[in-house]
Amino acid sequence: MREVDIFIQLDHPNIVKFLEYYQDEHYFHIVMEFCSGGELLTKVEKLGRLKEPEAKKIMRQALSAVRYIHEKGIVHRDLKLDNFLFDTEGPDAILKLIDFGLSKRYDPNRQNLRTVLGTSHYIAPEVLLGKYTDKCDEWSLGIIMYIILSGYAPFDGDCDAQILKAVADAQYSLEGPFWGRISENAKDLISKLLEKDIDARWTAAQALEHDWFKHDQAASEVFDLKRESGRHQFVMRNLTKFQQKNKFKREAMEVMITQLNEEELKRLKDAFQFFDKKGTGEITIAELKQVMNEMGLTHTNALLENIISNVHFENKDKIRYTEFLTAAIDRKAYANKEMLWTAFKFFDVDNKNSVSIDNIRDVMARVGKTLSEEEVQELMREIDFANGGRVTFDEFCKFMVAEGINEQSIRFTEEDEDDTEWHEIGLEKEREINEVKIQEMKTQPLCIGN
């Protein structure tokens, strides 16, 4: 299950989200984030080729995903148009990298990779020689950029053998009437990625700093700051007030995020992009400080470190993508009884309308996380399992707000929302459950005797 082991490590806005896995008598089943927008390949086939601004938007996201996995010591080895999906069908759809079946952990200090694999049009020349590094992914990104701008592959042939021979020769053209309409910056970046010399080939991190991406960035910077800073103040308020340390509670909150409607989720994703100034897929203290300065908010280093500490579950100095979404979501969203019910039923694996500590253990393992015995004991102290060793929906709702919020917050122009009547939400759902049970009893035949 190498693919699952890799997926568990990944948390980036441009990488498809791993949700859980389970096993039956014959197979392992991996449950992933649903992407309704289709493949990048389908979009290119439909349009023929993409205009340069659209290609730039796509390449920025693809490079960000590859930079992230390389920094995590993972090489994909099968980057191609087919392995990028769009999360929605809309014009602002987010690109998602998928299929880590050929991926591998890579340590540049140990030795080169040797297994020859990949897809003929996208494979790097050095892979054919059986001696390559993670820069084989950058070559594939260069192929993708070439195709989406031109509509055809730089290396082609009537069969795989001819294609691979052309790849090995690494001779391609950026000349002719068509390429005359493409900017010099775009062509230069392609040449940096389709560099046969591995040492000279640019990394994804270098490519993201290329002038092609910076050309139109400065013109919109002032406009973006004025518009975006005000639009995302609600996120900063929620970040400063967030204080949830329990693994089980965080997992329940992540389930609730998946229940947000498209508009609400887009607001949070847009906010993450605004905070993630360098496009790394993680937010640092420096980036958090920059955003607060842009918003005109006073802050101290202690406050910044406190926000990072509360939002980030592990002992690190960065906020990951899902951690950001969990902390940034408006607390009113958690007042939605259907979202609470969905999260509750996610853990109610035996469908008894209650949750046991064993249920929680099983689900946490299924999503690639484990609870230590110390965490289990802490959980049992926080939730009352006295009712036959199980927790009702009402008790679950009360637990979801038991830790409260961080009092060390910033003064904002908007008034904070009133607390939600969580207890009433729980009672209402409990009444609905009881009504269903009563109706079931009425419809069942009466049995007397043995």
Q: Are 395 and 374 in contact (CB under 8 A)?
A: no
Q: Are 250 and 379 in contact (CB under 8 A)?
A: no
Q: Are 32 and 18 in contact (CB under 8 A)?
A: yes
3-class DSSP state of 246: coil
DSSP calls for 310-335: HH-SSSSSEEEHHHHHHHHS-GGGGG
Amino acid at 271: A
- Closest to 52 (Cα-Cα) out of 212, 194, 206: 212
DSSP state, residue 96 = E
Burial class of residue 351 (count of CB atoms within 10 Å of its CB; 0-12, 13-18, 19+): exposed
First to last CA, the chain: 50
Burial class of residue 45 (count of CB atoms within 10 Å of its CB; 0-12, 13-18, 19+): exposed
Q: Are 154 and 146 in contact (CB under 8 A)?
A: yes
The question of whether 82 is a catalytic residue gets the answer: no
R_g of the chain computed on alpha carbons? 25
The C-alpha atoms of residue 20 and residue 127 are separated, in whole angstroms, by 32
Q: Which residues of 363-391 are buried (b: 16+ CB within 10 A; e: fewer)?
A: bbebbbeebeeeeeebbeeebebeeeebb
3-class DSSP state of 203: coil
The C-alpha atoms of residue 123 and residue 167 are separated, in whole angstroms, by 8
Q: Are 117 and 102 in contact (CB under 8 A)?
A: yes
Q: Which of 11, 78, 276, 394 is catalytic?
A: 78
Cα distances (angstroms) measured from residue 419 to each of 236, 238, 279, 330: 18, 13, 35, 12
Cross-strand partners of 225: none
Cross-strand partners of 22: 29
Catalytic residues: 78
